[in-house]
Chain A
């Protein structure tokens, strides 16, 4: 399995993250997206005429939609992540995948504008992204009241991975996440999953330092004497 990859791309990161959770190790082929625009060059257009990355190949299979790559890896190596328990859960997963596209077109485009000088109407992009983030906050908050920490149900699915990168990187595009407590708890739940991998701008959870134990006897005695 080969993943044509860019380290700063949230859509590529979705696939790297799914692969990490599924224990799959695709061969990563770095693409000079910025500044080289290699994804629009002839060689990669031969694989993906649309000129986008990521591209995933496995034998004869060529995938150019990152959400399809999530489905492929999950179906093959980690079927729990498909979220097929009930008709409702499956439908929520499909909604989540479609919703992720809105995030790519709004928060993702705002980030590319602010960070890599990509063209775009930044005001309109941020408004669209804010509307999407508010919807996500409402949906996650409702889920939490049902006792469900993730987008489609009580456990993570490919819908969470599709949405997570653009949400977590929204501040890169001038969209702070301070106003969305349910989103922040949801992101923390994803970062806490075993096997989580980071990308630049999305940090791992640093282990909390253990509670300081009782003071060593000598120090306590010294300070008592000093205070006396």
Chain B
């Protein structure tokens, strides 16, 4: 079988606990798929011809693939530590490129303007220098030593703090964010964005979190994350051009965009162009 970097990936398609025998139709890379619970109650996925697709349950989500992934789906060891609360935030559909959704998640500079008085505030708008690398051993993009002043960094935060972030892109349409955990200094909160590419300009986003927070209810944590993500949604739907340009062109990156630059470079090297455009914008 020929290698196809787009099809040979695991993609999230459902919350494991929400799969029903009646099932649900969806799309993956423009192809019809069906997600349902089989006779034994286990999640199953079929393609448009009724062919059974491989299924993997990880991070409380159902993952499938149209191809033959060369490697296992990434893991998040921090998320498995005991005492963390796993938050299934649920799906949100966005009319944008799956890659734009990931790129927005990697951006810090928009916090004061879009997530005003929560993840950022004026005049604390400066993004300090941070480090970005494509880690060759694991083939992932990492941004480290990211610092930002946040009025309410998490549901569990009382008052403003300078939050530290690490961003990780282990998959073309998934990103993992590690950030200062307000009630437990020294530990990281884990916040993930798993993106299901429906088409090149339409995606289902499955945010997921593994947090230390003994005070907030699960619903409060879900609402906090949905509030943040829905503040981004209308902006994502209005980005131009809709496809993510992988070549430098009309979009002029600044120092604050180092992670985005590395992400685009990594996608290009990988040959992952679904939801991207290769000619200069």
The count of chain B contact residues (Cβ–Cβ below 8 Å) is 28
Q: Is A204 an interface residue (CB 8 A)?
A: yes
Complex interface: stretch among A26-34, A62-70, A91-99: A26-34
A200 close to B88 (CB less than 8 A): no
Q: Which residues on B sit within 8 Å (CB–CB) of A35? A: 15, 18, 88-91, 222
The residues of A that contact B114 with a CB separation of less than 8 Å are: 203
- Assembled-state Cα–Cα distance A34/B90 (Å): 7
Stretch at the interface among A73-81, A111-119, A215-223: A111-119
Tell me if B256 counts as interface (CB < 8 A to partner A).
no
With both beta carbons as reference points, the residue of chain A lying nearest to B18 in the complex is identified as: A35
From A30, A114, A116, A174, B223 is in contact (CB under 8 Å) with: A30
B233 at the interface (CB under 8 A from A): yes
Contact with A along B140-174 (1 / 0, CB 8 A): 00000000000000000000000000000000000
Q: A residues within 8 A CB of B233?
A: 115, 172, 200-201
| CB closest chain-A residue, reference B26 | A117
Q: Let me know if B234 and A7 touch, CB within 8 A.
A: no
Annotate B94-122 by CB proximity to A: 1 below 8 A, 0 otherwise. 01000000000000000001101000000
A30, B220: Cβ atoms closer than 8 Å? yes
Residues of A within 8 A of B217 (CB): 30
Interface membership of B230, Cβ < 8 A: yes
Tally of A-B Cβ pairs under 8 angstroms:
64
Which residues on the A side are within 8 Å of B219 (C-beta)? 30-32, 36, 38
Q: Is B93 an interface residue (CB 8 A)?
A: yes
Partner of B92, one of A30, A31, A115, A206: A115
The proximity string for A residues 1-20 relative to B, scoring 1 for CB distances below 8 Å and 0 otherwise, is 00000111000000000000
A171 near B: Cβ within 8 Å? Answer: yes
Q: Which of B217-233 contact A (CB under 8 A)?
A: 217-220, 222-223, 226-231, 233
* B interface residues (Cβ-Cβ under 8 A, vs A): 15, 18, 88-93, 95, 113-114, 116, 204, 217-220, 222-223, 226-231, 233-234, 237
The 7 closest A-B pairs by CB, nearest first: A35-B90, A200-B230, A32-B219, A7-B223, A30-B219, A200-B231, A200-B227
Task: Pick 26 A–B contacts, CB within 8 A, sort by A.
Answer: A7-B227, A8-B226, A8-B227, A30-B217, A30-B219, A30-B220, A32-B222, A34-B90, A35-B90, A35-B91, A35-B222, A36-B90, A36-B222, A38-B219, A115-B93, A116-B92, A116-B93, A117-B204, A172-B234, A174-B95, A200-B226, A200-B227, A200-B228, A200-B231, A200-B233, A203-B116
